[in-house]
A = this chain, B = another copy of it.
Amino acid sequence: MNEQDFLAGYDPRDYPAVAVTVDVVALTIRDGALHLLLIRRGAPPYAGHWALPGGFVQPDEDLATGARRELAEETGLGGERLRRVHLEQLGSYGAPDRDPRMRVVSVAHLAFAPDLPEPVADTDADEAIWLPVTALTSRQLAFDHGRIIDDGLERARSKLEYTPLATRFLAPEFTITELREVYETVWGHPLHAGNFHRKVLSVPGFVESTGGSTERGGARGGPRAKLYRAGDARLLHPALLRPAREETVR
């Protein structure tokens, strides 16, 4: 039976109540470590557990708009700085028993943000914080948010391979070394600096030179690095593939 026939002469209240929420896996890099925006829940269910920022989708807003609104509320961000955050849909989670209160389908989103100020307490006044992803165990997480976060992290690692979205973790102008550090942080292992440099500059539209340089060399020495901004490519061709991992070697 399809939805259209079902809905002809519909009354929404005839059908099982389903709530639709948007949740956001917001990632940023602070102090060389990948961090995740989390809320400490003050009320049941899962009081005291960490949860993803999120909430009900409003009647007049698109899913992406709702996700961006939730992100804005939790980070206190607005305007140009909010607009620079990359936001994409991650997937929907709708196991019948994932929320003990009622049937809730959550449309999860994934956000890449440059280093941001500390999050602000929401109107709901739960504690909000950037937490290193390494500090998480799924035991501390509400609902199926551990699973959603795992999926988000894997999506993030994968997206760096074939899109230029690593630049979204950085300020508008950045050095190749900073860009490499994004990859190293998200992928979790070091890359060869020289080869990375060559590769980034050889992929059309990945980065473009600003002509400028950093004010100073590195913290412990070295020349001033050239500055780049994101290019206009939406996909990287050829891609920057992760080195094969053990599980792929078979």
A16 pairs with B59, CB closer than 8 A: yes
Q: Mark A57-72, 1 if CB is under 8 A from B, else 0.
A: 1111111000000100
The answer to whether the Cβ of A135 comes within 8 Å of any Cβ in the partner chain is no
Q: Given the complex of chains A and B, what is the CA–CA distance between A63 and B100 in angstroms?
A: 17
Partner of A124, one of B2, B18, B104: B2
B45 pairs with A7, CB closer than 8 A: yes
B19 pairs with A96, CB closer than 8 A: no
- Copies of this protein in the assembly total 2
The verdict on A12 contacting B47 (CB below 8 Å), with A56-B3, A91-B91 known, is no
The verdict on A91 contacting B89 (CB below 8 Å), with A3-B44, A43-B4, A44-B1 known, is yes
A126 contact set on B, CB distance < 8 A: 2, 5
B96 pairs with A6, CB closer than 8 A: no
The answer to whether the Cβ of A92 comes within 8 Å of any Cβ in the partner chain is yes
A196 contact set on B, CB distance < 8 A: none
Q: Given the complex of chains A and B, what is the CA–CA distance between A4 and B52 in angstroms?
A: 11
A142 contact set on B, CB distance < 8 A: 4
A57 contact set on B, CB distance < 8 A: 18, 94, 105
A15 pairs with B7, CB closer than 8 A: no
B44 pairs with A2, CB closer than 8 A: yes
Q: Given the complex of chains A and B, what is the CA–CA distance between A89 and B2 in angstroms?
A: 18
The chain B residue sitting closest to A249, CB to CB, is: B204
Partner of A94, one of B3, B43, B107, B250: B107
Partner of A104, one of B3, B47, B70, B204: B3
A12 contact set on B, CB distance < 8 A: 17, 19, 101-102
B20 pairs with A102, CB closer than 8 A: no
The verdict on A15 contacting B241 (CB below 8 Å), with A20-B20, A61-B96, A92-B92 known, is no
A7 pairs with B54, CB closer than 8 A: no
B21 pairs with A3, CB closer than 8 A: yes
Extra 7 A-B pairs, beta carbons < 8 Å, given A2-B70, A20-B20: A2-B53, A3-B100, A6-B44, A12-B102, A18-B20, A62-B94, A91-B92
Which A residues have a C-beta under 8 Å from some C-beta of B? 1-8, 10, 12-13, 15-21, 39, 41-47, 51, 53-63, 70, 73, 89, 91-96, 99-107, 122-124, 126, 142, 204-205, 232-233, 235, 237-239, 241, 244, 248-250
